[in-house]
């Protein structure tokens, strides 16, 4: 087996002795960081490479924090009868991973989303890493494997 296969197995195992403690210490640090943070290199290199990431100019990796649970609607201050003053959960129709990609795309509007993958979760948050590509960078335009992203935008 190659190195990427062993990396994938390390992320799939749920044993606290293998990577559990390491991930727990990471999340203590991640909670203090902003919701969308650019990082120098991917945490799960095997997954990033499978999605098309390359360690070259034009590729950006961003860690995004998403809150878990349903979105609670804010209690209205006045103007309603007591029966309608309660708080109700609102389930979003898209997955947390799609929300993370949208959050990253909003923060970096000049970049295109290539893909994303799960990196961790605790009781309150879930973290995803989103791979973004700069379609105007010369290194991306000249790369035949990724140059398809330089085509017309779908706006």
Beta strands in the chain (DSSP E): 36-39, 59-67, 71-72, 89-90, 112-121, 125-133
With 90 as the cut, is the pLDDT of residue 83 above it?
Answer: no
What does pTM read for this prediction? 0.83
The predicted-structure confidence for 93-144, as pLDDT tens digits, reads as follows: 889 999 999 999 999 999 999 999 999 888 999 999 999 999 999 999 998 8
Could you give all domains of the chain from N- to C-terminal order, each with its CATH number? 35-150 (3.40.1120.10)
């Amino acid at each position: 087996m190659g190195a990427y296969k062993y990396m994938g197995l390390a992320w799939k195992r749920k044993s606290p002795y293998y990577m559990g403690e390491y991930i727990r210490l990471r999340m203590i640090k991640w909670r203090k960081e902003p919701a969308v943070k650019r990082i120098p290199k991917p945490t799960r290199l095997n997954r990033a490479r499978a999605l098309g990431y390359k360690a070259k100019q034009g590729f950006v990796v961003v860690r995004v924090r998403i809150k878990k649970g349903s979105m609670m609607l804010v209690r209205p201050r006045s103007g309603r009868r007591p029966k309608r003053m309660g708080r109700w959960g609102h389930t979003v129709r898209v997955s947390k991973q799609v929300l993370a990609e949208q959050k990253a795309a909003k923060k970096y509007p000049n970049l295109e989303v290539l893909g994303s993958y799960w990196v961790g979760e605790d009781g309150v948050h879930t973290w995803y890493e989103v791979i973004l590509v700069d379609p105007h960078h010369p290194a991306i335009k000249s790369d035949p494997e990724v140059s398809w992203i330089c085509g017309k935008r779908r706006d």
